Structure 1
Amino acid sequence: MTKFINPGLKSTSRRNVLRGSVLAGAAAMTGAASFAAARRTPTPSIAPSARFIEAEAQAQVQAAPADLSGYTRVKQEMVAPPFAPVHEQVATGGPKIIEVYMETQERLMVVDEDTGASIWALTYDGYVPGPLIICHEGDMVELTLRNPEDSLMEHNIDFHASTGALGGGGLTHVFPGEETVLRWKATKAGVFTYHCAPGGAMIPYHVTHGMNGAVMVLPRDGLKDNEGNPLRYDSIAYIGEQDYYLPKDEDGEFRQYEEAGEDYADSLEAMRTLTPTHSVFNGAVGALTGEAALKAKVGETVLMIHNQANRDSRPHLIGGHGNFVWEAGSFNDAPATNIESWFIRGGSAGAAIYTFEQPGVYAYVNHNLIEAVLLGATAHFVVDGEWDNELMEQVVPPRSFAT
């Protein structure tokens, strides 16, 4: 299969990837005639043209180098969601440069075993969502992003937590066989989305194929409640909600594809309906239930991070609450308290803290219950501990009653 790059861009206007990805993709899917037509009629894009990106890169070269005195370097090992990397809740010492390494991977994933639905997922490190990155306000994140030689597409990364150059998207385009290093300063405390954004129709194509994740920027003195008191958590549950638009054949069966990108034209048609075939947590139906359910104990406090890079969502913990909720993600704002369901805007992440008080199975769902039950947006917390009848008691078990 033809790789989704335009070789001419490498030697001439390499930064014209924002159009090049889509145009090359059109050529691979529909042939040279369509590719020529696409050149005559540029694909609409929300991103600036290559000349603006090149000017931005040139301005960076001419600018004074960043003053890194006073920073210490710390390597952060990425871990698979729903888990979080080792980190400090309260920063010790001065600001740090958090070194992060991620590799783009294009891999076949089963979305729903019951129906056989699958997708050639576009991922960071092979995960949907991509790994959680954690730093503190004032730190710098230094990402090495590598795109393996056997990839079929170019990739990049847009950090909603960063400032400038399309969130880093304008400076991180990597073709197969390339790597880049981007450093950005965390100036805002909160939880934020990151995602791939090559340009044009490739932006939603990559995002809805799993290429998104979250960054948590903690205040240096840690999280605070609405009265300014310290908040601590025992663990993090990192949940990425993913909407998929899987093409079907004329019989209503999910199509199967041999390589990444082969579904491009079919996927664009499915995406235009704005109706997902699946809305799942952490990549697949049931990914956080059964054997893979999240674990906790009565008395433990969990920080739930919820990322949705594309659509609105309404998380709800059935049997529990959001004791403290940063719905819009900003830790510099006082959290809302005792929330039943909270709202995560498409293209953002939010956070909520809850201390479990009863044992049992808690369902964490998108409270659009159609999506939770029919499309897959459900996770489970399995909580161990002693039952408290003061909080809930079955006074009379089910029985027949006289009419």
Structure 2
Amino acid sequence: MKLLQTSVLASALALAAAAGAPSPAHAVDALELVNATLDQASDLAALPRQQVQLKRPPFVHDHDQVAKGGPKVVQFTLPIVEEEIVIDGEGTKMHAMTFGGSIPGPLMVVHEGDYVEVTLVNLASNAMPHNIDFHAATGALGGGDLTVIQPGEEVTLRWKATRPGTFVYHCAPGGPMTPWHVVAGMHGTIMVLPRDGLKDGDGKPLRYDRAYYVGETEFYIPRDANGNFKSYASHAESLPDTLAAMKGLVPSHIVFNGAVGALAGDNAMTSKVGETLLLVHSQANRDTRPHLIGGHGDYVWEEGKFNNAPLKDLETWFIRGGSAGAALYTFHQPGLHVYLNHNLIEAVLLGAAAHIKVDGDKWNHDLMTTPSPVGAIKPDTDLSLPVAK
């Protein structure tokens, strides 16, 4: 609580200074104002508390789709991990900054009206200060103003989930450090479900059998004079070249879940014919265009906000930079489905693609079949198209 008071006080004094007020003379008044504000916080002693064990994306922790009982305090612990990672099959390395040791950070799920209580831990082995900004939260830069912590420190932030939907969270230490920390991996999503669950445009309930979280990230790996990707001994050493590469706005990689092929092959997402999948997709920095090859978006919250009616039957949907969206699809055919960013240059050449392996015993020939097998072109076949007159 003392750290919270100090952080709020610092923010109040900074705002006062920006407004031209003589902040030192008003420090005592500002502290009294902070204390009075804290006294106004809801008394949550009577609310149940739920400690959640987060899962590494694309997986999502266990949760109820329809809330049971009234609001509760949902508690998460989120360690910050700085580490060198390999981001493609060529062995390209970068110094990543992560929430929870993964890119993206884990998906958190609560219900509208719940209180989110996140303990952010900046490991002593890290080199830099960090914080967290929740787009779903109200005030204090989404919590970023209250959560700046140095290596070896931790802080607990509590905020009320008042708006249902999918929302990005990310590190925002200020200045050029904010975009650098984000494209180095420090972003994730929180999903605030309506208390009575998801609904279609007519108010009918929608449910899903499985949920996956895909976080899209673009990396800016500097190159040497010969065009080869460079590696560095530390985050600090990489910073000048990385900032220069970022200013060019030309990513070296655009990936799902931290690396090229991270969700392909043996790491593919899985489902079954007849199952309904919820796909949550975020991009903290750039626009993207998710598409499911061989499938559709049955119901899509393109803007990620569950108070709005979902769009239906989309082929490709649009996720704005700095936001997260959600899509439901029920599989009708077995086999490999490719889920990608339908800027095909970014998907095929830069890495923004994933696989979904769908199990099923029977192929539905009514939906698709080959009445004529592959064979040589018949001789003397006229393939010209008639000219309209």
In structure 2, the CA distance between the partners of 1:50 and 1:121, relative to structure 1 (3 Å rule), is: farther
Query: 2:149, 2:31 → 1: CA distance?
Result: 15
Query: 2:159, 2:181 → 1: CA distance?
Result: 23
8 A Cα contact 1:83 1:238, kept in partner: yes
Work out whether 1:253 is the aligned partner of 2:231: no
8 A Cα contact 1:161 1:188, kept in partner: yes
Deviation digits for residues 136-186 of structure 1 (CA, Å, limit 9, x no counterpart): 000010000010112110000000010000000000000011000000000
Task: Select the residue among 306, 317, 323 that pairs with 2:281.
Answer: 306
Work out whether 1:270 is the aligned partner of 2:270: no
Query: 1:59, 1:281 → 2: CA distance?
Result: 45
8 A Cα contact 1:104 1:148, kept in partner: yes
- Aligned partner of 2:355 in structure 1 is 380
SS in 1 for 2:237: coil
Task: Select the residue among 139, 147, 153 that pairs with 1:172.
Answer: 147
8 A Cα contact 1:316 1:342, kept in partner: yes
1:305 alignment partner AA: V
Deviation digits for residues 260-286 of structure 1 (CA, Å, limit 9, x no counterpart): 332111110000011111100000000
- Aligned partner of 2:50 in structure 1 is 74
8 A Cα contact 2:279 2:328, kept in partner: yes
Work out whether 1:195 is the aligned partner of 2:182: no
Query: 1:296, 1:199 → 2: CA distance?
Result: 41
Query: 1:317, 1:280 → 2: CA distance?
Result: 16
TM superposition shift of 1:132: 0.5
8 A Cα contact 2:165 2:192, kept in partner: yes
Work out whether 1:61 is the aligned partner of 2:61: no
The alignment covers a number of residue pairs equal to 361
TM superposition shift of 1:61: 3.0
In structure 2, the CA distance between the partners of 1:284 and 1:58, relative to structure 1 (3 Å rule), is: farther
In structure 2, the CA distance between the partners of 1:345 and 1:398, relative to structure 1 (3 Å rule), is: same
More displaced, 259-268 or 137-146? 259-268
2:78 alignment partner AA: M
TM-score (norm 2): 0.89
SS in 2 for 1:370: helix
Task: Select the residue among 216, 228, 242 that pairs with 2:203.
Answer: 228
- 1:4-403 matched pairs, under 5 angstroms: 59-63=33-37, 64-114=40-90, 116-385=91-360, 386-401=362-377, 402-403=379-380
In structure 2, the CA distance between the partners of 1:151 and 1:270, relative to structure 1 (3 Å rule), is: same
Query: 2:105, 2:8 → 1: CA distance?
Result: 25
In structure 2, the CA distance between the partners of 1:345 and 1:370, relative to structure 1 (3 Å rule), is: same
TM superposition shift of 1:59: 4.5
8 A Cα contact 2:7 2:145, kept in partner: no
- Aligned partner of 1:38 in structure 2 is none
Query: 2:9, 2:336 → 1: CA distance?
Result: 51
Query: 1:261, 1:305 → 2: CA distance?
Result: 33
Query: 2:253, 2:281 → 1: CA distance?
Result: 17
SS in 2 for 1:271: helix
8 A Cα contact 1:104 1:145, kept in partner: yes
- Aligned partner of 1:39 in structure 2 is none
8 A Cα contact 1:233 1:302, kept in partner: yes
Deviation digits for residues 243-267 of structure 1 (CA, Å, limit 9, x no counterpart): 1011111111111112233211111
1:62 alignment partner AA: A
Q: Which runs of no fewer than 5 residues in structure 1 stay unpaired?
A: 1-9, 19-47
Query: 1:295, 1:344 → 2: CA distance?
Result: 23
Query: 2:354, 2:16 → 1: CA distance?
Result: 42
SS in 2 for 1:261: helix
Query: 1:305, 1:179 → 2: CA distance?
Result: 28
8 A Cα contact 1:312 1:345, kept in partner: yes
8 A Cα contact 1:305 1:349, kept in partner: yes
In structure 2, the CA distance between the partners of 1:315 and 1:177, relative to structure 1 (3 Å rule), is: same
8 A Cα contact 2:292 2:315, kept in partner: yes
Q: Which runs of no fewer than 5 residues in structure 2 stay unpaired?
A: 381-389
8 A Cα contact 1:193 1:212, kept in partner: yes
TM superposition shift of 1:78: 0.7
Query: 2:292, 2:89 → 1: CA distance?
Result: 25
**What is the identity percentage for the equivalent residue pairs of Structure 1 and Structure 2?**
53
Query: 1:215, 1:57 → 2: CA distance?
Result: 32
Query: 1:334, 1:108 → 2: CA distance?
Result: 42
